[in-house]
Amino acid sequence: MTRQRVALVTGAGNGIGRASALALADRSHRVAVTDIDEAAAQRTVHAITEAGGSAVAIALDVTDDTSRRAAVSRCVSELGGLDLLVNCAGVLRDARIEKLEDSLFESMLEVNLIGPLALIHTALPHLRAAGTASVVNVASRAWLGTFGSTAYSGAKGGLVGASRSLALELAPDGITVNCVAPGFIETDMTSTLPPRIRERILAAIPIGRPGHPADVAEAVVFFASNGYCTGQTLLICGGRGIGRPIAEAS
């Protein structure tokens, strides 16, 4: 009997991480649902098990080495291995450069760049042992550049660049590494945006609506299931990466 693939998803208590965990469980993955908020992770696990899936909730602070090691260890021991790592945990706080304090910039890097790369390092022996495995890093359309978002854009751009390098390094081990880069997605993280900023963003999306976490989760599932696609970054942004929509002629 073929062993079920095992996925570890960070930031899976809410938003894109939760949607990705649910989508992977629906595709017969056993899922380690990790989040800094263990209660939120438990709620995701409940949704998975209610639907007939298999999952375990694990508290994880991606900025802490002890927490990273413990989460990977529990995933492997309780679910039987590790075939897929989805780095979705993230934080969005930013300012224009003249107001950007060191502490804010450092927190952006620790959560959005250093944490994911360190978790890949921790998980790597288990991913190699799987024979064929995948890493999907959730970046952001912001890596292309966003006004007033130097720290966040820099961290996500770093994640894209690192993922391309890792794809080259890990291909001989049968491990693919790809990024999904969401645009404006309706999540707790984006819900605090001022209305005027929200309106400006929506006006720039050709499809004319914000994205939903499930839109991004489908891209995660694609990368998780394709063993020949690596080093790629897929924009999930309603066409915003193409350019601004043209207003209708009066």
Determine, yes or no, domain membership for 246.
no
Determine, yes or no, domain membership for 124.
yes
Cα–Cα distances in Å, from 35 out to 25, 126, 128, 195? 17, 20, 24, 28
Q: What is the CATH number of the domain that holds 97?
A: 3.40.50.720
Determine, yes or no, domain membership for 245.
no
Question: Which residues of the chain, if any, have pLDDT below 50?
Answer: 249-250
Check 105, 143, 152, 223 and give the catalytic one: 152
Determine, yes or no, domain membership for 20.
yes
Domain limits at 75?
6-233
Determine, yes or no, domain membership for 150.
yes
User: How far, in Å, CA of 14 to CA of 20, rounded?
Assistant: 10
Torsion angle (degrees, nearest 10) of CA 216, 86, 186, 52: 80
Cα–Cα distances in Å, from 241 out to 48, 116, 119, 151? 33, 24, 29, 20
Instruction: Give the pLDDT score at 149.
Output: 73
Instruction: Give the pLDDT score at 250.
Output: 40
> Residue 40 CB: number of other CB atoms within 10 A?
20
* Rg value, the chain, Cα: 18
Question: How many structural domains comprise the chain?
Answer: 1
User: 33-90 pLDDT, tens per residue?
Assistant: 999 999 999 999 999 999 999 999 999 999 999 999 999 999 999 999 999 999 999 8
Determine, yes or no, domain membership for 186.
yes
Instruction: Give the pLDDT score at 110.
Output: 94
User: How far, in Å, CA of 140 to CA of 237, rounded?
Assistant: 9
User: 187-200 pLDDT, tens per residue?
Assistant: 877 777 788 888 88
Q: Which residues pair with 233 in a beta bridge?
A: 179
pTM of the model: 0.91
User: How far, in Å, CA of 250 to CA of 52, rounded?
Assistant: 53
User: How far, in Å, CA of 185 to CA of 94, rounded?
Assistant: 17
Alpha helix positions (H), the chain: 15-26, 38-50, 65-79, 102-109, 115-129, 150-170, 195-203, 213-225
Instruction: Give the pLDDT score at 95.
Output: 64
CB 215 within 8 A of CB 240: no
Determine, yes or no, domain membership for 250.
no
Instruction: Give the pLDDT score at 1.
Output: 53
Asked if 152 is an active-site residue, the reply is yes
CB 87 within 8 A of CB 119: yes
CB 81 within 8 A of CB 2: no
User: How far, in Å, CA of 220 to CA of 225, rounded?
Assistant: 9
Determine, yes or no, domain membership for 48.
yes
Picking from 80, 183, 93, the residue whose alpha carbon sits closest to that of residue 140 is: 183
Instruction: Give the pLDDT score at 246.
Output: 59
What DSSP character marks residue 182? E
